[in-house]
Structure 1
Amino acid sequence: MKYVVVLGDGMADEPLSRLNGKTPLSYAKTPALDVLSKKSEIGMVSTIPEGMKPGSDTANLSVIGYDPRKYYSGRSPLEALSIGVPMKDTDIAMRCNIVTLSEEEGIPFPKRRILDHSSGEISTEDCSILLHAVMEEMDKDPYHFYVGTSYRHCLIWENGRVEELTPPHDVLGREIAPYLPSDEKLYKMMERSYEILKDHPVNAERRRNGLNPANCCWFWGAGTRPALPSFREKTGKKGIMISAVDLLKGIAVGAGMDVAEVEGANGGLHTNYEGKTQAAVDALTRDGYDFAYIHVEAPDEMGHQGSLEKKLKAIEYLDSRVIGPLVSALDKSGEEYRLLVMPDHPTPIRIRTHTSENVPYLIYDSTNQQKNDWNYNEAEAILSGNYIPEGYKLMDKFLEIKHKNHL
């Protein structure tokens, strides 16, 4: 039996009046999911433990089968693992977003607002140039920068301390003063990064092209080096992660899973969906893997942007360019397989950030097809009556692992 997860990051949402009371997931055109749902178990699952912040870090740890209360040590350390940062036990890792701040003349730095947490989904190539401009001045002991993907980068603070820092996507459009670091050095580094980047030639070119400038480093997600038990030892499955996002790659590295590198996978709306799908098919049917995790970031990014149209498109792409071709290829291969489709958390269009609400799951088994009338969406998953209150236990259910201690 082969096992594959298709994770639509932030895909869940709220009923919207613009969609006649439907959620984006129930409104989007999803013919592949419509067929599968009639032959699958659907239900709701809580991926965010009570009292924990609704991040993709805690949520994806739950989905992969790790109890966040036990194993979560911060988001950035997981991302640091994925890009090969040699973290020591005394190091603190922080995410370094390159964000877009407002640029009104004569406004002091704390009065500026975050306009875009992703700087218009800036390319890794452009953002690397900008980060290196910052590094020339500020990469000095005990602070060290590392290039990640797109707007997502890493800062290591040697012998540092975990600071309470705010994710930029939680304060879009707001004045930044209440959310700046209490640590004076981190504050000054963010302020200085704005001075370095606002007039950089890359940003001048972006403005000419109608793109948001990437004009400030924003630090958040601080934590210590993680320690996850081996996924293979825990489940008996050889696994591979397929994602453009350093966080997911870092979880995989920490869990001893392999990571597939897919050309053109960028975490945006126009990522290489087909390449991700083919990587999973090859891993499961050719390369000896038992488990593949396909992570698609686009629904979450479109939720953060507050774009209903683009979020609908992201869900439709997930259906037509991942789920449909994946099921077709696995059916043709003759492999017996189980498929889990779900979000990690909601990213409602209304508020443009994550929430802790339960999310719908779908489990399809090619050897045990069910017959029902459900469609895959939030409302019908609730009506199904199936509910998993501890999200990290869903993976054992999916992998059909019984009578074991959960790690």
Structure 2
Amino acid sequence: MKYVIVIPDGCADEPIEALGGKTPLQAAALPAMDRVAASGASALSNNTPAHFPAGSEVANLCLFGYDPDQYFTGRAPLEAAASGITLGKHDFAVRCNLVTIEDQIMVDFTADHISTEESRQLLAAAGEALLGSEGGRFEFVPGVSYRNLLIYRGDENTPPPFSSETRSTAPHDLTDLSVTDDFPRGPGSDLLVRLMNGSADVFADHPVNQARRAAGKRPATHVWLWGLGGAPSMPTFEERFGVRGTMITAVDLLRGIAALAGWPRIEVEGATGYLDTDYAAKGAAAIQALQQYDLVCVHIEAPDEASHEGRHDAKIEALEQIDRHIVGPLAEALAGYGDHRILVTPDHPTFCSTKKHTHGMVPLVMAGTGIESDSQTTYDEIAAAASGRRFDHGWDLMDAFICR
């Protein structure tokens, strides 16, 4: 049996007046996804339990069959795993965005999609200026673009200043909103706030920001610290389901979940984690990977990025590219392997109107060997709801998708 999972991140949405009351999934031309729906079964799945943030970290753990109450410790530890960083039992990882805040408003949670090299230079300056007094226990670890980490190393004699009670807010949930009441709070929050505020002084006249302003780009005004947690521990996907998988993604969070699930990663040239990603290259890489692995997962961040920018037109374009270059070719390739199954599903909803992730059901469709067709012929939120099938606990979906 061959399996394919396609994740158009954040593609679930609400009806949009400018689209005639349709959602982006309904408005987009998605012939390949609709063929999967017509030949398979639609459903709704809840990957964002109400007592967790409505973020990709929890949603994707659920999607892959892991109950977050049992396995989730925080977003940053998942991203640390993507970088090959091993956390000890006294260590913590903290997600570190480079952001643009003006007059206490989160203007841009990506700092205008700052480059990786620019981020490295800014974090090096922040580390030198701010971390020297912390006993060598903290380190900024550059990632990709605005997505970076802060690592804390503790020991038996120096427990971490943070705990599961430390609260933080994802910057992408604050777009165009005041940040005044959303700084970290709880154990260790004074330290995090001090670093965040201190970064503003370090970055203000840094040559990187001077050059960005001169080029008409937004500066990175602060580090925003959030998503912290200790070391996670979870069984591999093969231990859970008896299937060898691999991951294709441009996002460290998904790379980290893949690493913890025991999946190797396939890095695709031109995959950016943004709207300009090379969809065709990701589709071609997935088709090639089917020769080696039982399961190939392709994650595409573009629909989520479009939602965060409030651009329903860009979201529709991303969905149509995914349909044309990923779902269509993969569905055709799968047919040559005999027994096979394909699943198309986002992790969580992201509304263009609010520019943020939200709790709620997402539509999915799965088809292939042993999956009975229902009466739905399109892939969208309305058709999935009409199917009457629901996974109230998203982590139960994999038990239905994987044959055992």
User: What is the TM-score normalised by the length of structure 1?
Assistant: 0.91
Q: Match of 1:338, as an amino acid?
A: R
Contact 2:4 2:297 in 1 (8 A): yes
In the alignment, which of 142, 146, 150 is matched to residue 141 of structure 2? Answer: 146
Correspondences of 1:228-239 after superposition (within 5 Å): 228-239=234-245
Displacement of 1:339 in angstroms is 0.6
Q: Match of 2:367, as an amino acid?
A: Y
Q: Give the Cα–Cα distance (whole angstroms) in 2 for the partners of residues 128 and 263 of structure 1.
A: 21
Contact 2:376 2:387 in 1 (8 A): no
Q: Match of 2:260, as an amino acid?
A: G
In the alignment, which of 320, 342, 346 is matched to residue 343 of structure 1? Answer: 346
Match of 1:329 in 2: 333
Task: Determine if the alignment matches structure 1 residue 34 to structure 2 residue 34.
Answer: yes
Structure 2 gaps of 5+ residues are 154-159
Q: Match of 1:329, as an amino acid?
A: A
Displacement of 1:373 in angstroms is 4.5
Q: Bigger shift: 305-314 or 377-386?
A: 305-314
Contact 1:121 1:268 in 2 (8 A): no
Task: Determine if the alignment matches structure 1 residue 160 to structure 2 residue 166.
Answer: no
Q: Match of 1:166, as an amino acid?
A: T
Q: Deviations over 1:93-132 (max 9, x none)?
A: 1100001111xxxxxxxx5211011122223233222222
Match of 2:190 in 1: 184
Q: Give the Cα–Cα distance (whole angstroms) in 1 for the partners of residues 314 and 345 of structure 2.
A: 19
Q: Give the Cα–Cα distance (whole angstroms) in 1 for the partners of residues 247 and 25 of structure 2.
A: 24
Displacement of 1:224 in angstroms is 0.9
Match of 2:306 in 1: 302
Q: Match of 2:107, as an amino acid?
A: L
Contact 2:129 2:202 in 1 (8 A): no
Match of 1:405 in 2: none
In the alignment, which of 250, 258, 262 is matched to residue 256 of structure 2? Answer: 250
**Helix, strand or coil for the counterpart of 1:88?**
coil
Q: Give the Cα–Cα distance (whole angstroms) in 1 for the partners of residues 221 and 338 of structure 2.
A: 49
Q: Deviations over 1:117-150 (max 9, x none)?
A: 1122223233222222222323442211111112
Match of 2:381 in 1: 378
Q: Are residues 343 and 16 of structure 1, via their aligned partners in 2, closer, same or farther at CA, if it must alter by over 3 Å?
A: same
Q: Bigger shift: 387-396 or 139-148?
A: 139-148
Match of 1:290 in 2: 294
Contact 1:49 1:69 in 2 (8 A): no
Contact 1:101 1:215 in 2 (8 A): yes
In the alignment, which of 375, 388, 397 is matched to residue 394 of structure 1? Answer: 397
Identical residues among aligned pairs (%): 40
Correspondences of 1:114-133 after superposition (within 5 Å): 114-133=106-125
Match of 1:358 in 2: 361
**Helix, strand or coil for the counterpart of 1:62?**
helix
Q: Give the Cα–Cα distance (whole angstroms) in 2 for the partners of residues 392 and 367 of structure 1.
A: 20
Q: Bigger shift: 261-270 or 121-130?
A: 121-130
Q: Give the Cα–Cα distance (whole angstroms) in 2 for the partners of residues 21 and 387 of structure 1.
A: 24
Q: Match of 1:49, as an amino acid?
A: P
Q: Give the Cα–Cα distance (whole angstroms) in 1 for the partners of residues 203 and 268 of structure 2.
A: 30
Q: Give the Cα–Cα distance (whole angstroms) in 2 for the partners of residues 187 and 48 of structure 1.
A: 28
Displacement of 1:369 in angstroms is 7.3
Displacement of 1:50 in angstroms is 3.3
**Helix, strand or coil for the counterpart of 1:126?**
helix
Q: Give the Cα–Cα distance (whole angstroms) in 2 for the partners of residues 44 and 214 of structure 1.
A: 39
Q: Are residues 80 and 373 of structure 1, via their aligned partners in 2, closer, same or farther at CA, if it must alter by over 3 Å?
A: closer
Q: Give the Cα–Cα distance (whole angstroms) in 1 for the partners of residues 269 and 389 of structure 2.
A: 38
**Helix, strand or coil for the counterpart of 2:275?**
coil
Displacement of 1:328 in angstroms is 2.8
Match of 1:219 in 2: 225
Q: Bigger shift: 368-377 or 338-347?
A: 368-377
In the alignment, which of 286, 301, 311 is matched to residue 280 of structure 1? Answer: 286
Q: Deviations over 1:196-244 (max 9, x none)?
A: 2232232233233332222210000011100011111111111111111
Match of 1:50 in 2: 50
Match of 2:272 in 1: 266
Q: Are residues 125 and 258 of structure 1, via their aligned partners in 2, closer, same or farther at CA, if it must alter by over 3 Å?
A: same
Structure 1 gaps of 5+ residues are 103-110, 402-407
Contact 2:16 2:23 in 1 (8 A): yes
Displacement of 1:30 in angstroms is 1.3
Q: Give the Cα–Cα distance (whole angstroms) in 1 for the partners of residues 144 and 306 of structure 2.
A: 17
Q: Match of 2:207, as an amino acid?
A: P
**Helix, strand or coil for the counterpart of 2:196?**
helix
Q: Deviations over 1:48-82 (max 9, x none)?
A: 22322211011100111111111111111010111
Q: Give the Cα–Cα distance (whole angstroms) in 2 for the partners of residues 293 and 276 of structure 1.
A: 10
Match of 1:404 in 2: none
Q: Bigger shift: 222-231 or 139-148?
A: 139-148
Q: Give the Cα–Cα distance (whole angstroms) in 2 for the partners of residues 121 and 324 of structure 1.
A: 30
**Helix, strand or coil for the counterpart of 1:217?**
strand
Q: Are residues 373 and 184 of structure 1, via their aligned partners in 2, closer, same or farther at CA, if it must alter by over 3 Å?
A: closer
Displacement of 1:335 in angstroms is 4.5
How many residue pairs get aligned? The number is 390
Q: Give the Cα–Cα distance (whole angstroms) in 2 for the partners of residues 202 and 311 of structure 1.
A: 31
Q: Give the Cα–Cα distance (whole angstroms) in 2 for the partners of residues 213 and 41 of structure 1.
A: 47
Q: Are residues 101 and 22 of structure 1, via their aligned partners in 2, closer, same or farther at CA, if it must alter by over 3 Å?
A: same
**Helix, strand or coil for the counterpart of 2:162?**
coil
**Helix, strand or coil for the counterpart of 1:218?**
strand
